[in-house]
Structure 1
């Protein structure tokens, strides 16, 4: 019995009868994990901060589309600033030492920011759909005021929706705890199924359908242009058309693949008819894969834009501090 408890210590030594026991990680392992997760956190914050500074500073970037990218970057930045540090400590340390209220708030904030990020991704796909499929009507349909309202509704619905999903956990944060030093949350099958539909199946279906439509229209436009050029230039056009098709297909594939890879593991219990619990052995990997999507979003949605690379050069070289730099031509 004593051998089995070797290396374990009480989370709260003064509460001998009700305190959880935790198996301490080896020092080298803990340092390695802190280094890894801290690097991911810093990268997430830095990339999304670059997007926020770029869009906020340069006047040429004050467009409805970039306002959606700004909202996405804000949600992902908050994941890096608020959620990732807490999840790092939760995963590496064997005891929860921040109290029941912080236990409840940490999950609500994390789920809310993740939902807001997904909502912004849907809005971006709608924006691109209208821009490609209805280019002449785009200026009238997608206005700055409509985008601002949509973004506000996205954030408000995320707060309301996740508050309802986790209201019992917020009302009684320790309801699933078996001892002091635990931070247990369980989403039952019904709530998990609702969350599965509204946060995964619904958004994923919308994004998939819209991007497939965008791909089809982009290919048809490339082929239409091919039929209106001179015979001399026609030799080069097939290559250009194929590049356009490959680029559209590659972008679509990256968006859908990353989204599915990040969210599928988390929603597997709901798909299998089980409750979602952070007590599962795979919870840390699944949750971090979900949060890592916030690091990948600025790469997918911003690094494909040439203006973002120009903006980074302005920021890194400190030209952004020069007078009149906001009027610079970076498009």
Structure 2
């Protein structure tokens, strides 16, 4: 079911959404190239950030074009195959993003709370397992959501289990439980970091290392906070939709959806703002210097 939209509004909408897509793609490409190219950035934490950037890049490449078409033509949810495809890809990538953030919070927990065993507990092998599990579980959740939604459309009654899976269990496992877990982990990290600040009496190098870990944790906690700010309104809408069975206008739903998707655009700016080595890497890439020689071993400041 599609409705026509005034051509001027359509053009302006395409220009605006196209700009968001371009910024999202370019920003996440910078993150991906930086982590792959510069050896200084080859760390377990950055491997998780790399996989998260891939998910964000796919949002810019795939989900944004789908959304541009559906937003401009006012496609009503679940009434078109294109809508289902969009929601499936969107759900997979958003679930993958939050599970990656969950893994990153676990990485930060060991880095700050168990610094002596961090390098043995969180190595590249463990990180690869985290990444594979995150993507696999994302596909599993969305596949189950799709099956339940299809069954729900076919039946007139006795669909309690499918409705429960599609409307309640899906958001719980893909959003609410990971968010609660992350909040608990970051609260624990905050308390431990506060104790470390008060008790550091060691060498300058020890204090510097602890400061670096706390700054890294603060940055990644900001990434999580921005994610919650972008995605919470949409999931809260779904929650109240299940409770009250009331819907809002198409424009409001699409606005909430675009707010959620904008998270994929913001993460690279957060890294650039907090991390000086990402800024240095971005400058070397944008200026084209990496094509003029081998800068992979460069010391990023």
Q: TM-score per shorter chain, which class?
A: 0.7 to 0.9
Q: Which residue of 1 aligns with 2:128?
A: 148
Q: Which runs of 5+ in 2 are unaligned?
A: 156-161
Could you give the per-residue CA deviations for residues 76-122 of structure 1, whole angstroms, max 9, x where no partner exists?
000010001110110012469xx954443222111101110111111
Q: Which residue of 2 aligns with 1:110?
A: 90
Please, which moves more after superposition, 85-94 or 68-77? Answer: 85-94
Offset at 1:188? 4.0
Offset at 1:42? 1.0
Asked if structure 2 preserves the Cα contact closer than 8 Å seen for 1:255 and 1:300, the reply is: yes
Could you give the per-residue CA deviations for residues 205-238 of structure 1, whole angstroms, max 9, x where no partner exists?
121111122222222212112x569xxxxxxx9x
CA distance in 1, matches of 2:60, 2:246: 23
SS in 1 for 2:111: helix
SS in 1 for 2:34: helix
1:315 to 1:281, Cα distance in 2 relative to 1, 3 A: closer
Q: Which residue of 2 aligns with 1:234?
A: none
Bigger Rg over Cα? 1
Q: Which residue of 2 aligns with 1:194?
A: 169
CA distance in 2, matches of 1:259, 1:34: 24
Asked if structure 1 preserves the Cα contact closer than 8 Å seen for 2:148 and 2:166, the reply is: no
SS in 2 for 1:25: coil
Asked if structure 2 preserves the Cα contact closer than 8 Å seen for 1:120 and 1:151, the reply is: yes
1:141 to 1:249, Cα distance in 2 relative to 1, 3 A: closer
Question: Aligned to 1:219, which of 184, 194, 213?
Answer: 194
Please, which moves more after superposition, 34-43 or 321-330? Answer: 321-330
CA distance in 1, matches of 2:30, 2:191: 32
After TM superposition, the score normalised by the length of structure 1 is 0.76
Q: Which residue of 2 aligns with 1:84?
A: 64
SS in 2 for 1:135: coil
1:45 to 1:252, Cα distance in 2 relative to 1, 3 A: closer
2:227 counterpart of 1:259? yes
Could you say what the CA RMSD is over the residues aligned between the two structures, in angstroms?
3.3
CA distance in 2, matches of 1:328, 1:276: 57
Asked if structure 2 preserves the Cα contact closer than 8 Å seen for 1:91 and 1:284, the reply is: yes
SS in 2 for 1:327: coil
After TM superposition, the score normalised by the length of structure 2 is 0.83
Q: Which residue of 1 aligns with 2:239?
A: 271
> Which structure 2 residues correspond to residues 38-49 of structure 1 after superposition, within 5 A?
38-49=18-29
Offset at 1:252? 7.6
1:138 to 1:249, Cα distance in 2 relative to 1, 3 A: closer
Asked if structure 2 preserves the Cα contact closer than 8 Å seen for 1:72 and 1:120, the reply is: yes
Q: Which runs of 5+ in 1 are unaligned?
A: 1-19, 177-186, 230-236
Asked if structure 2 preserves the Cα contact closer than 8 Å seen for 1:208 and 1:256, the reply is: no
Higher helix share: 2
Q: Give the total of aligned pairs.
A: 286
Asked if structure 1 preserves the Cα contact closer than 8 Å seen for 2:91 and 2:142, the reply is: yes
Q: Which residue of 1 aligns with 2:40?
A: 60
Question: Aligned to 2:13, which of 18, 29, 33?
Answer: 33
CA distance in 1, matches of 2:248, 2:24: 23
1:251 to 1:326, Cα distance in 2 relative to 1, 3 A: closer
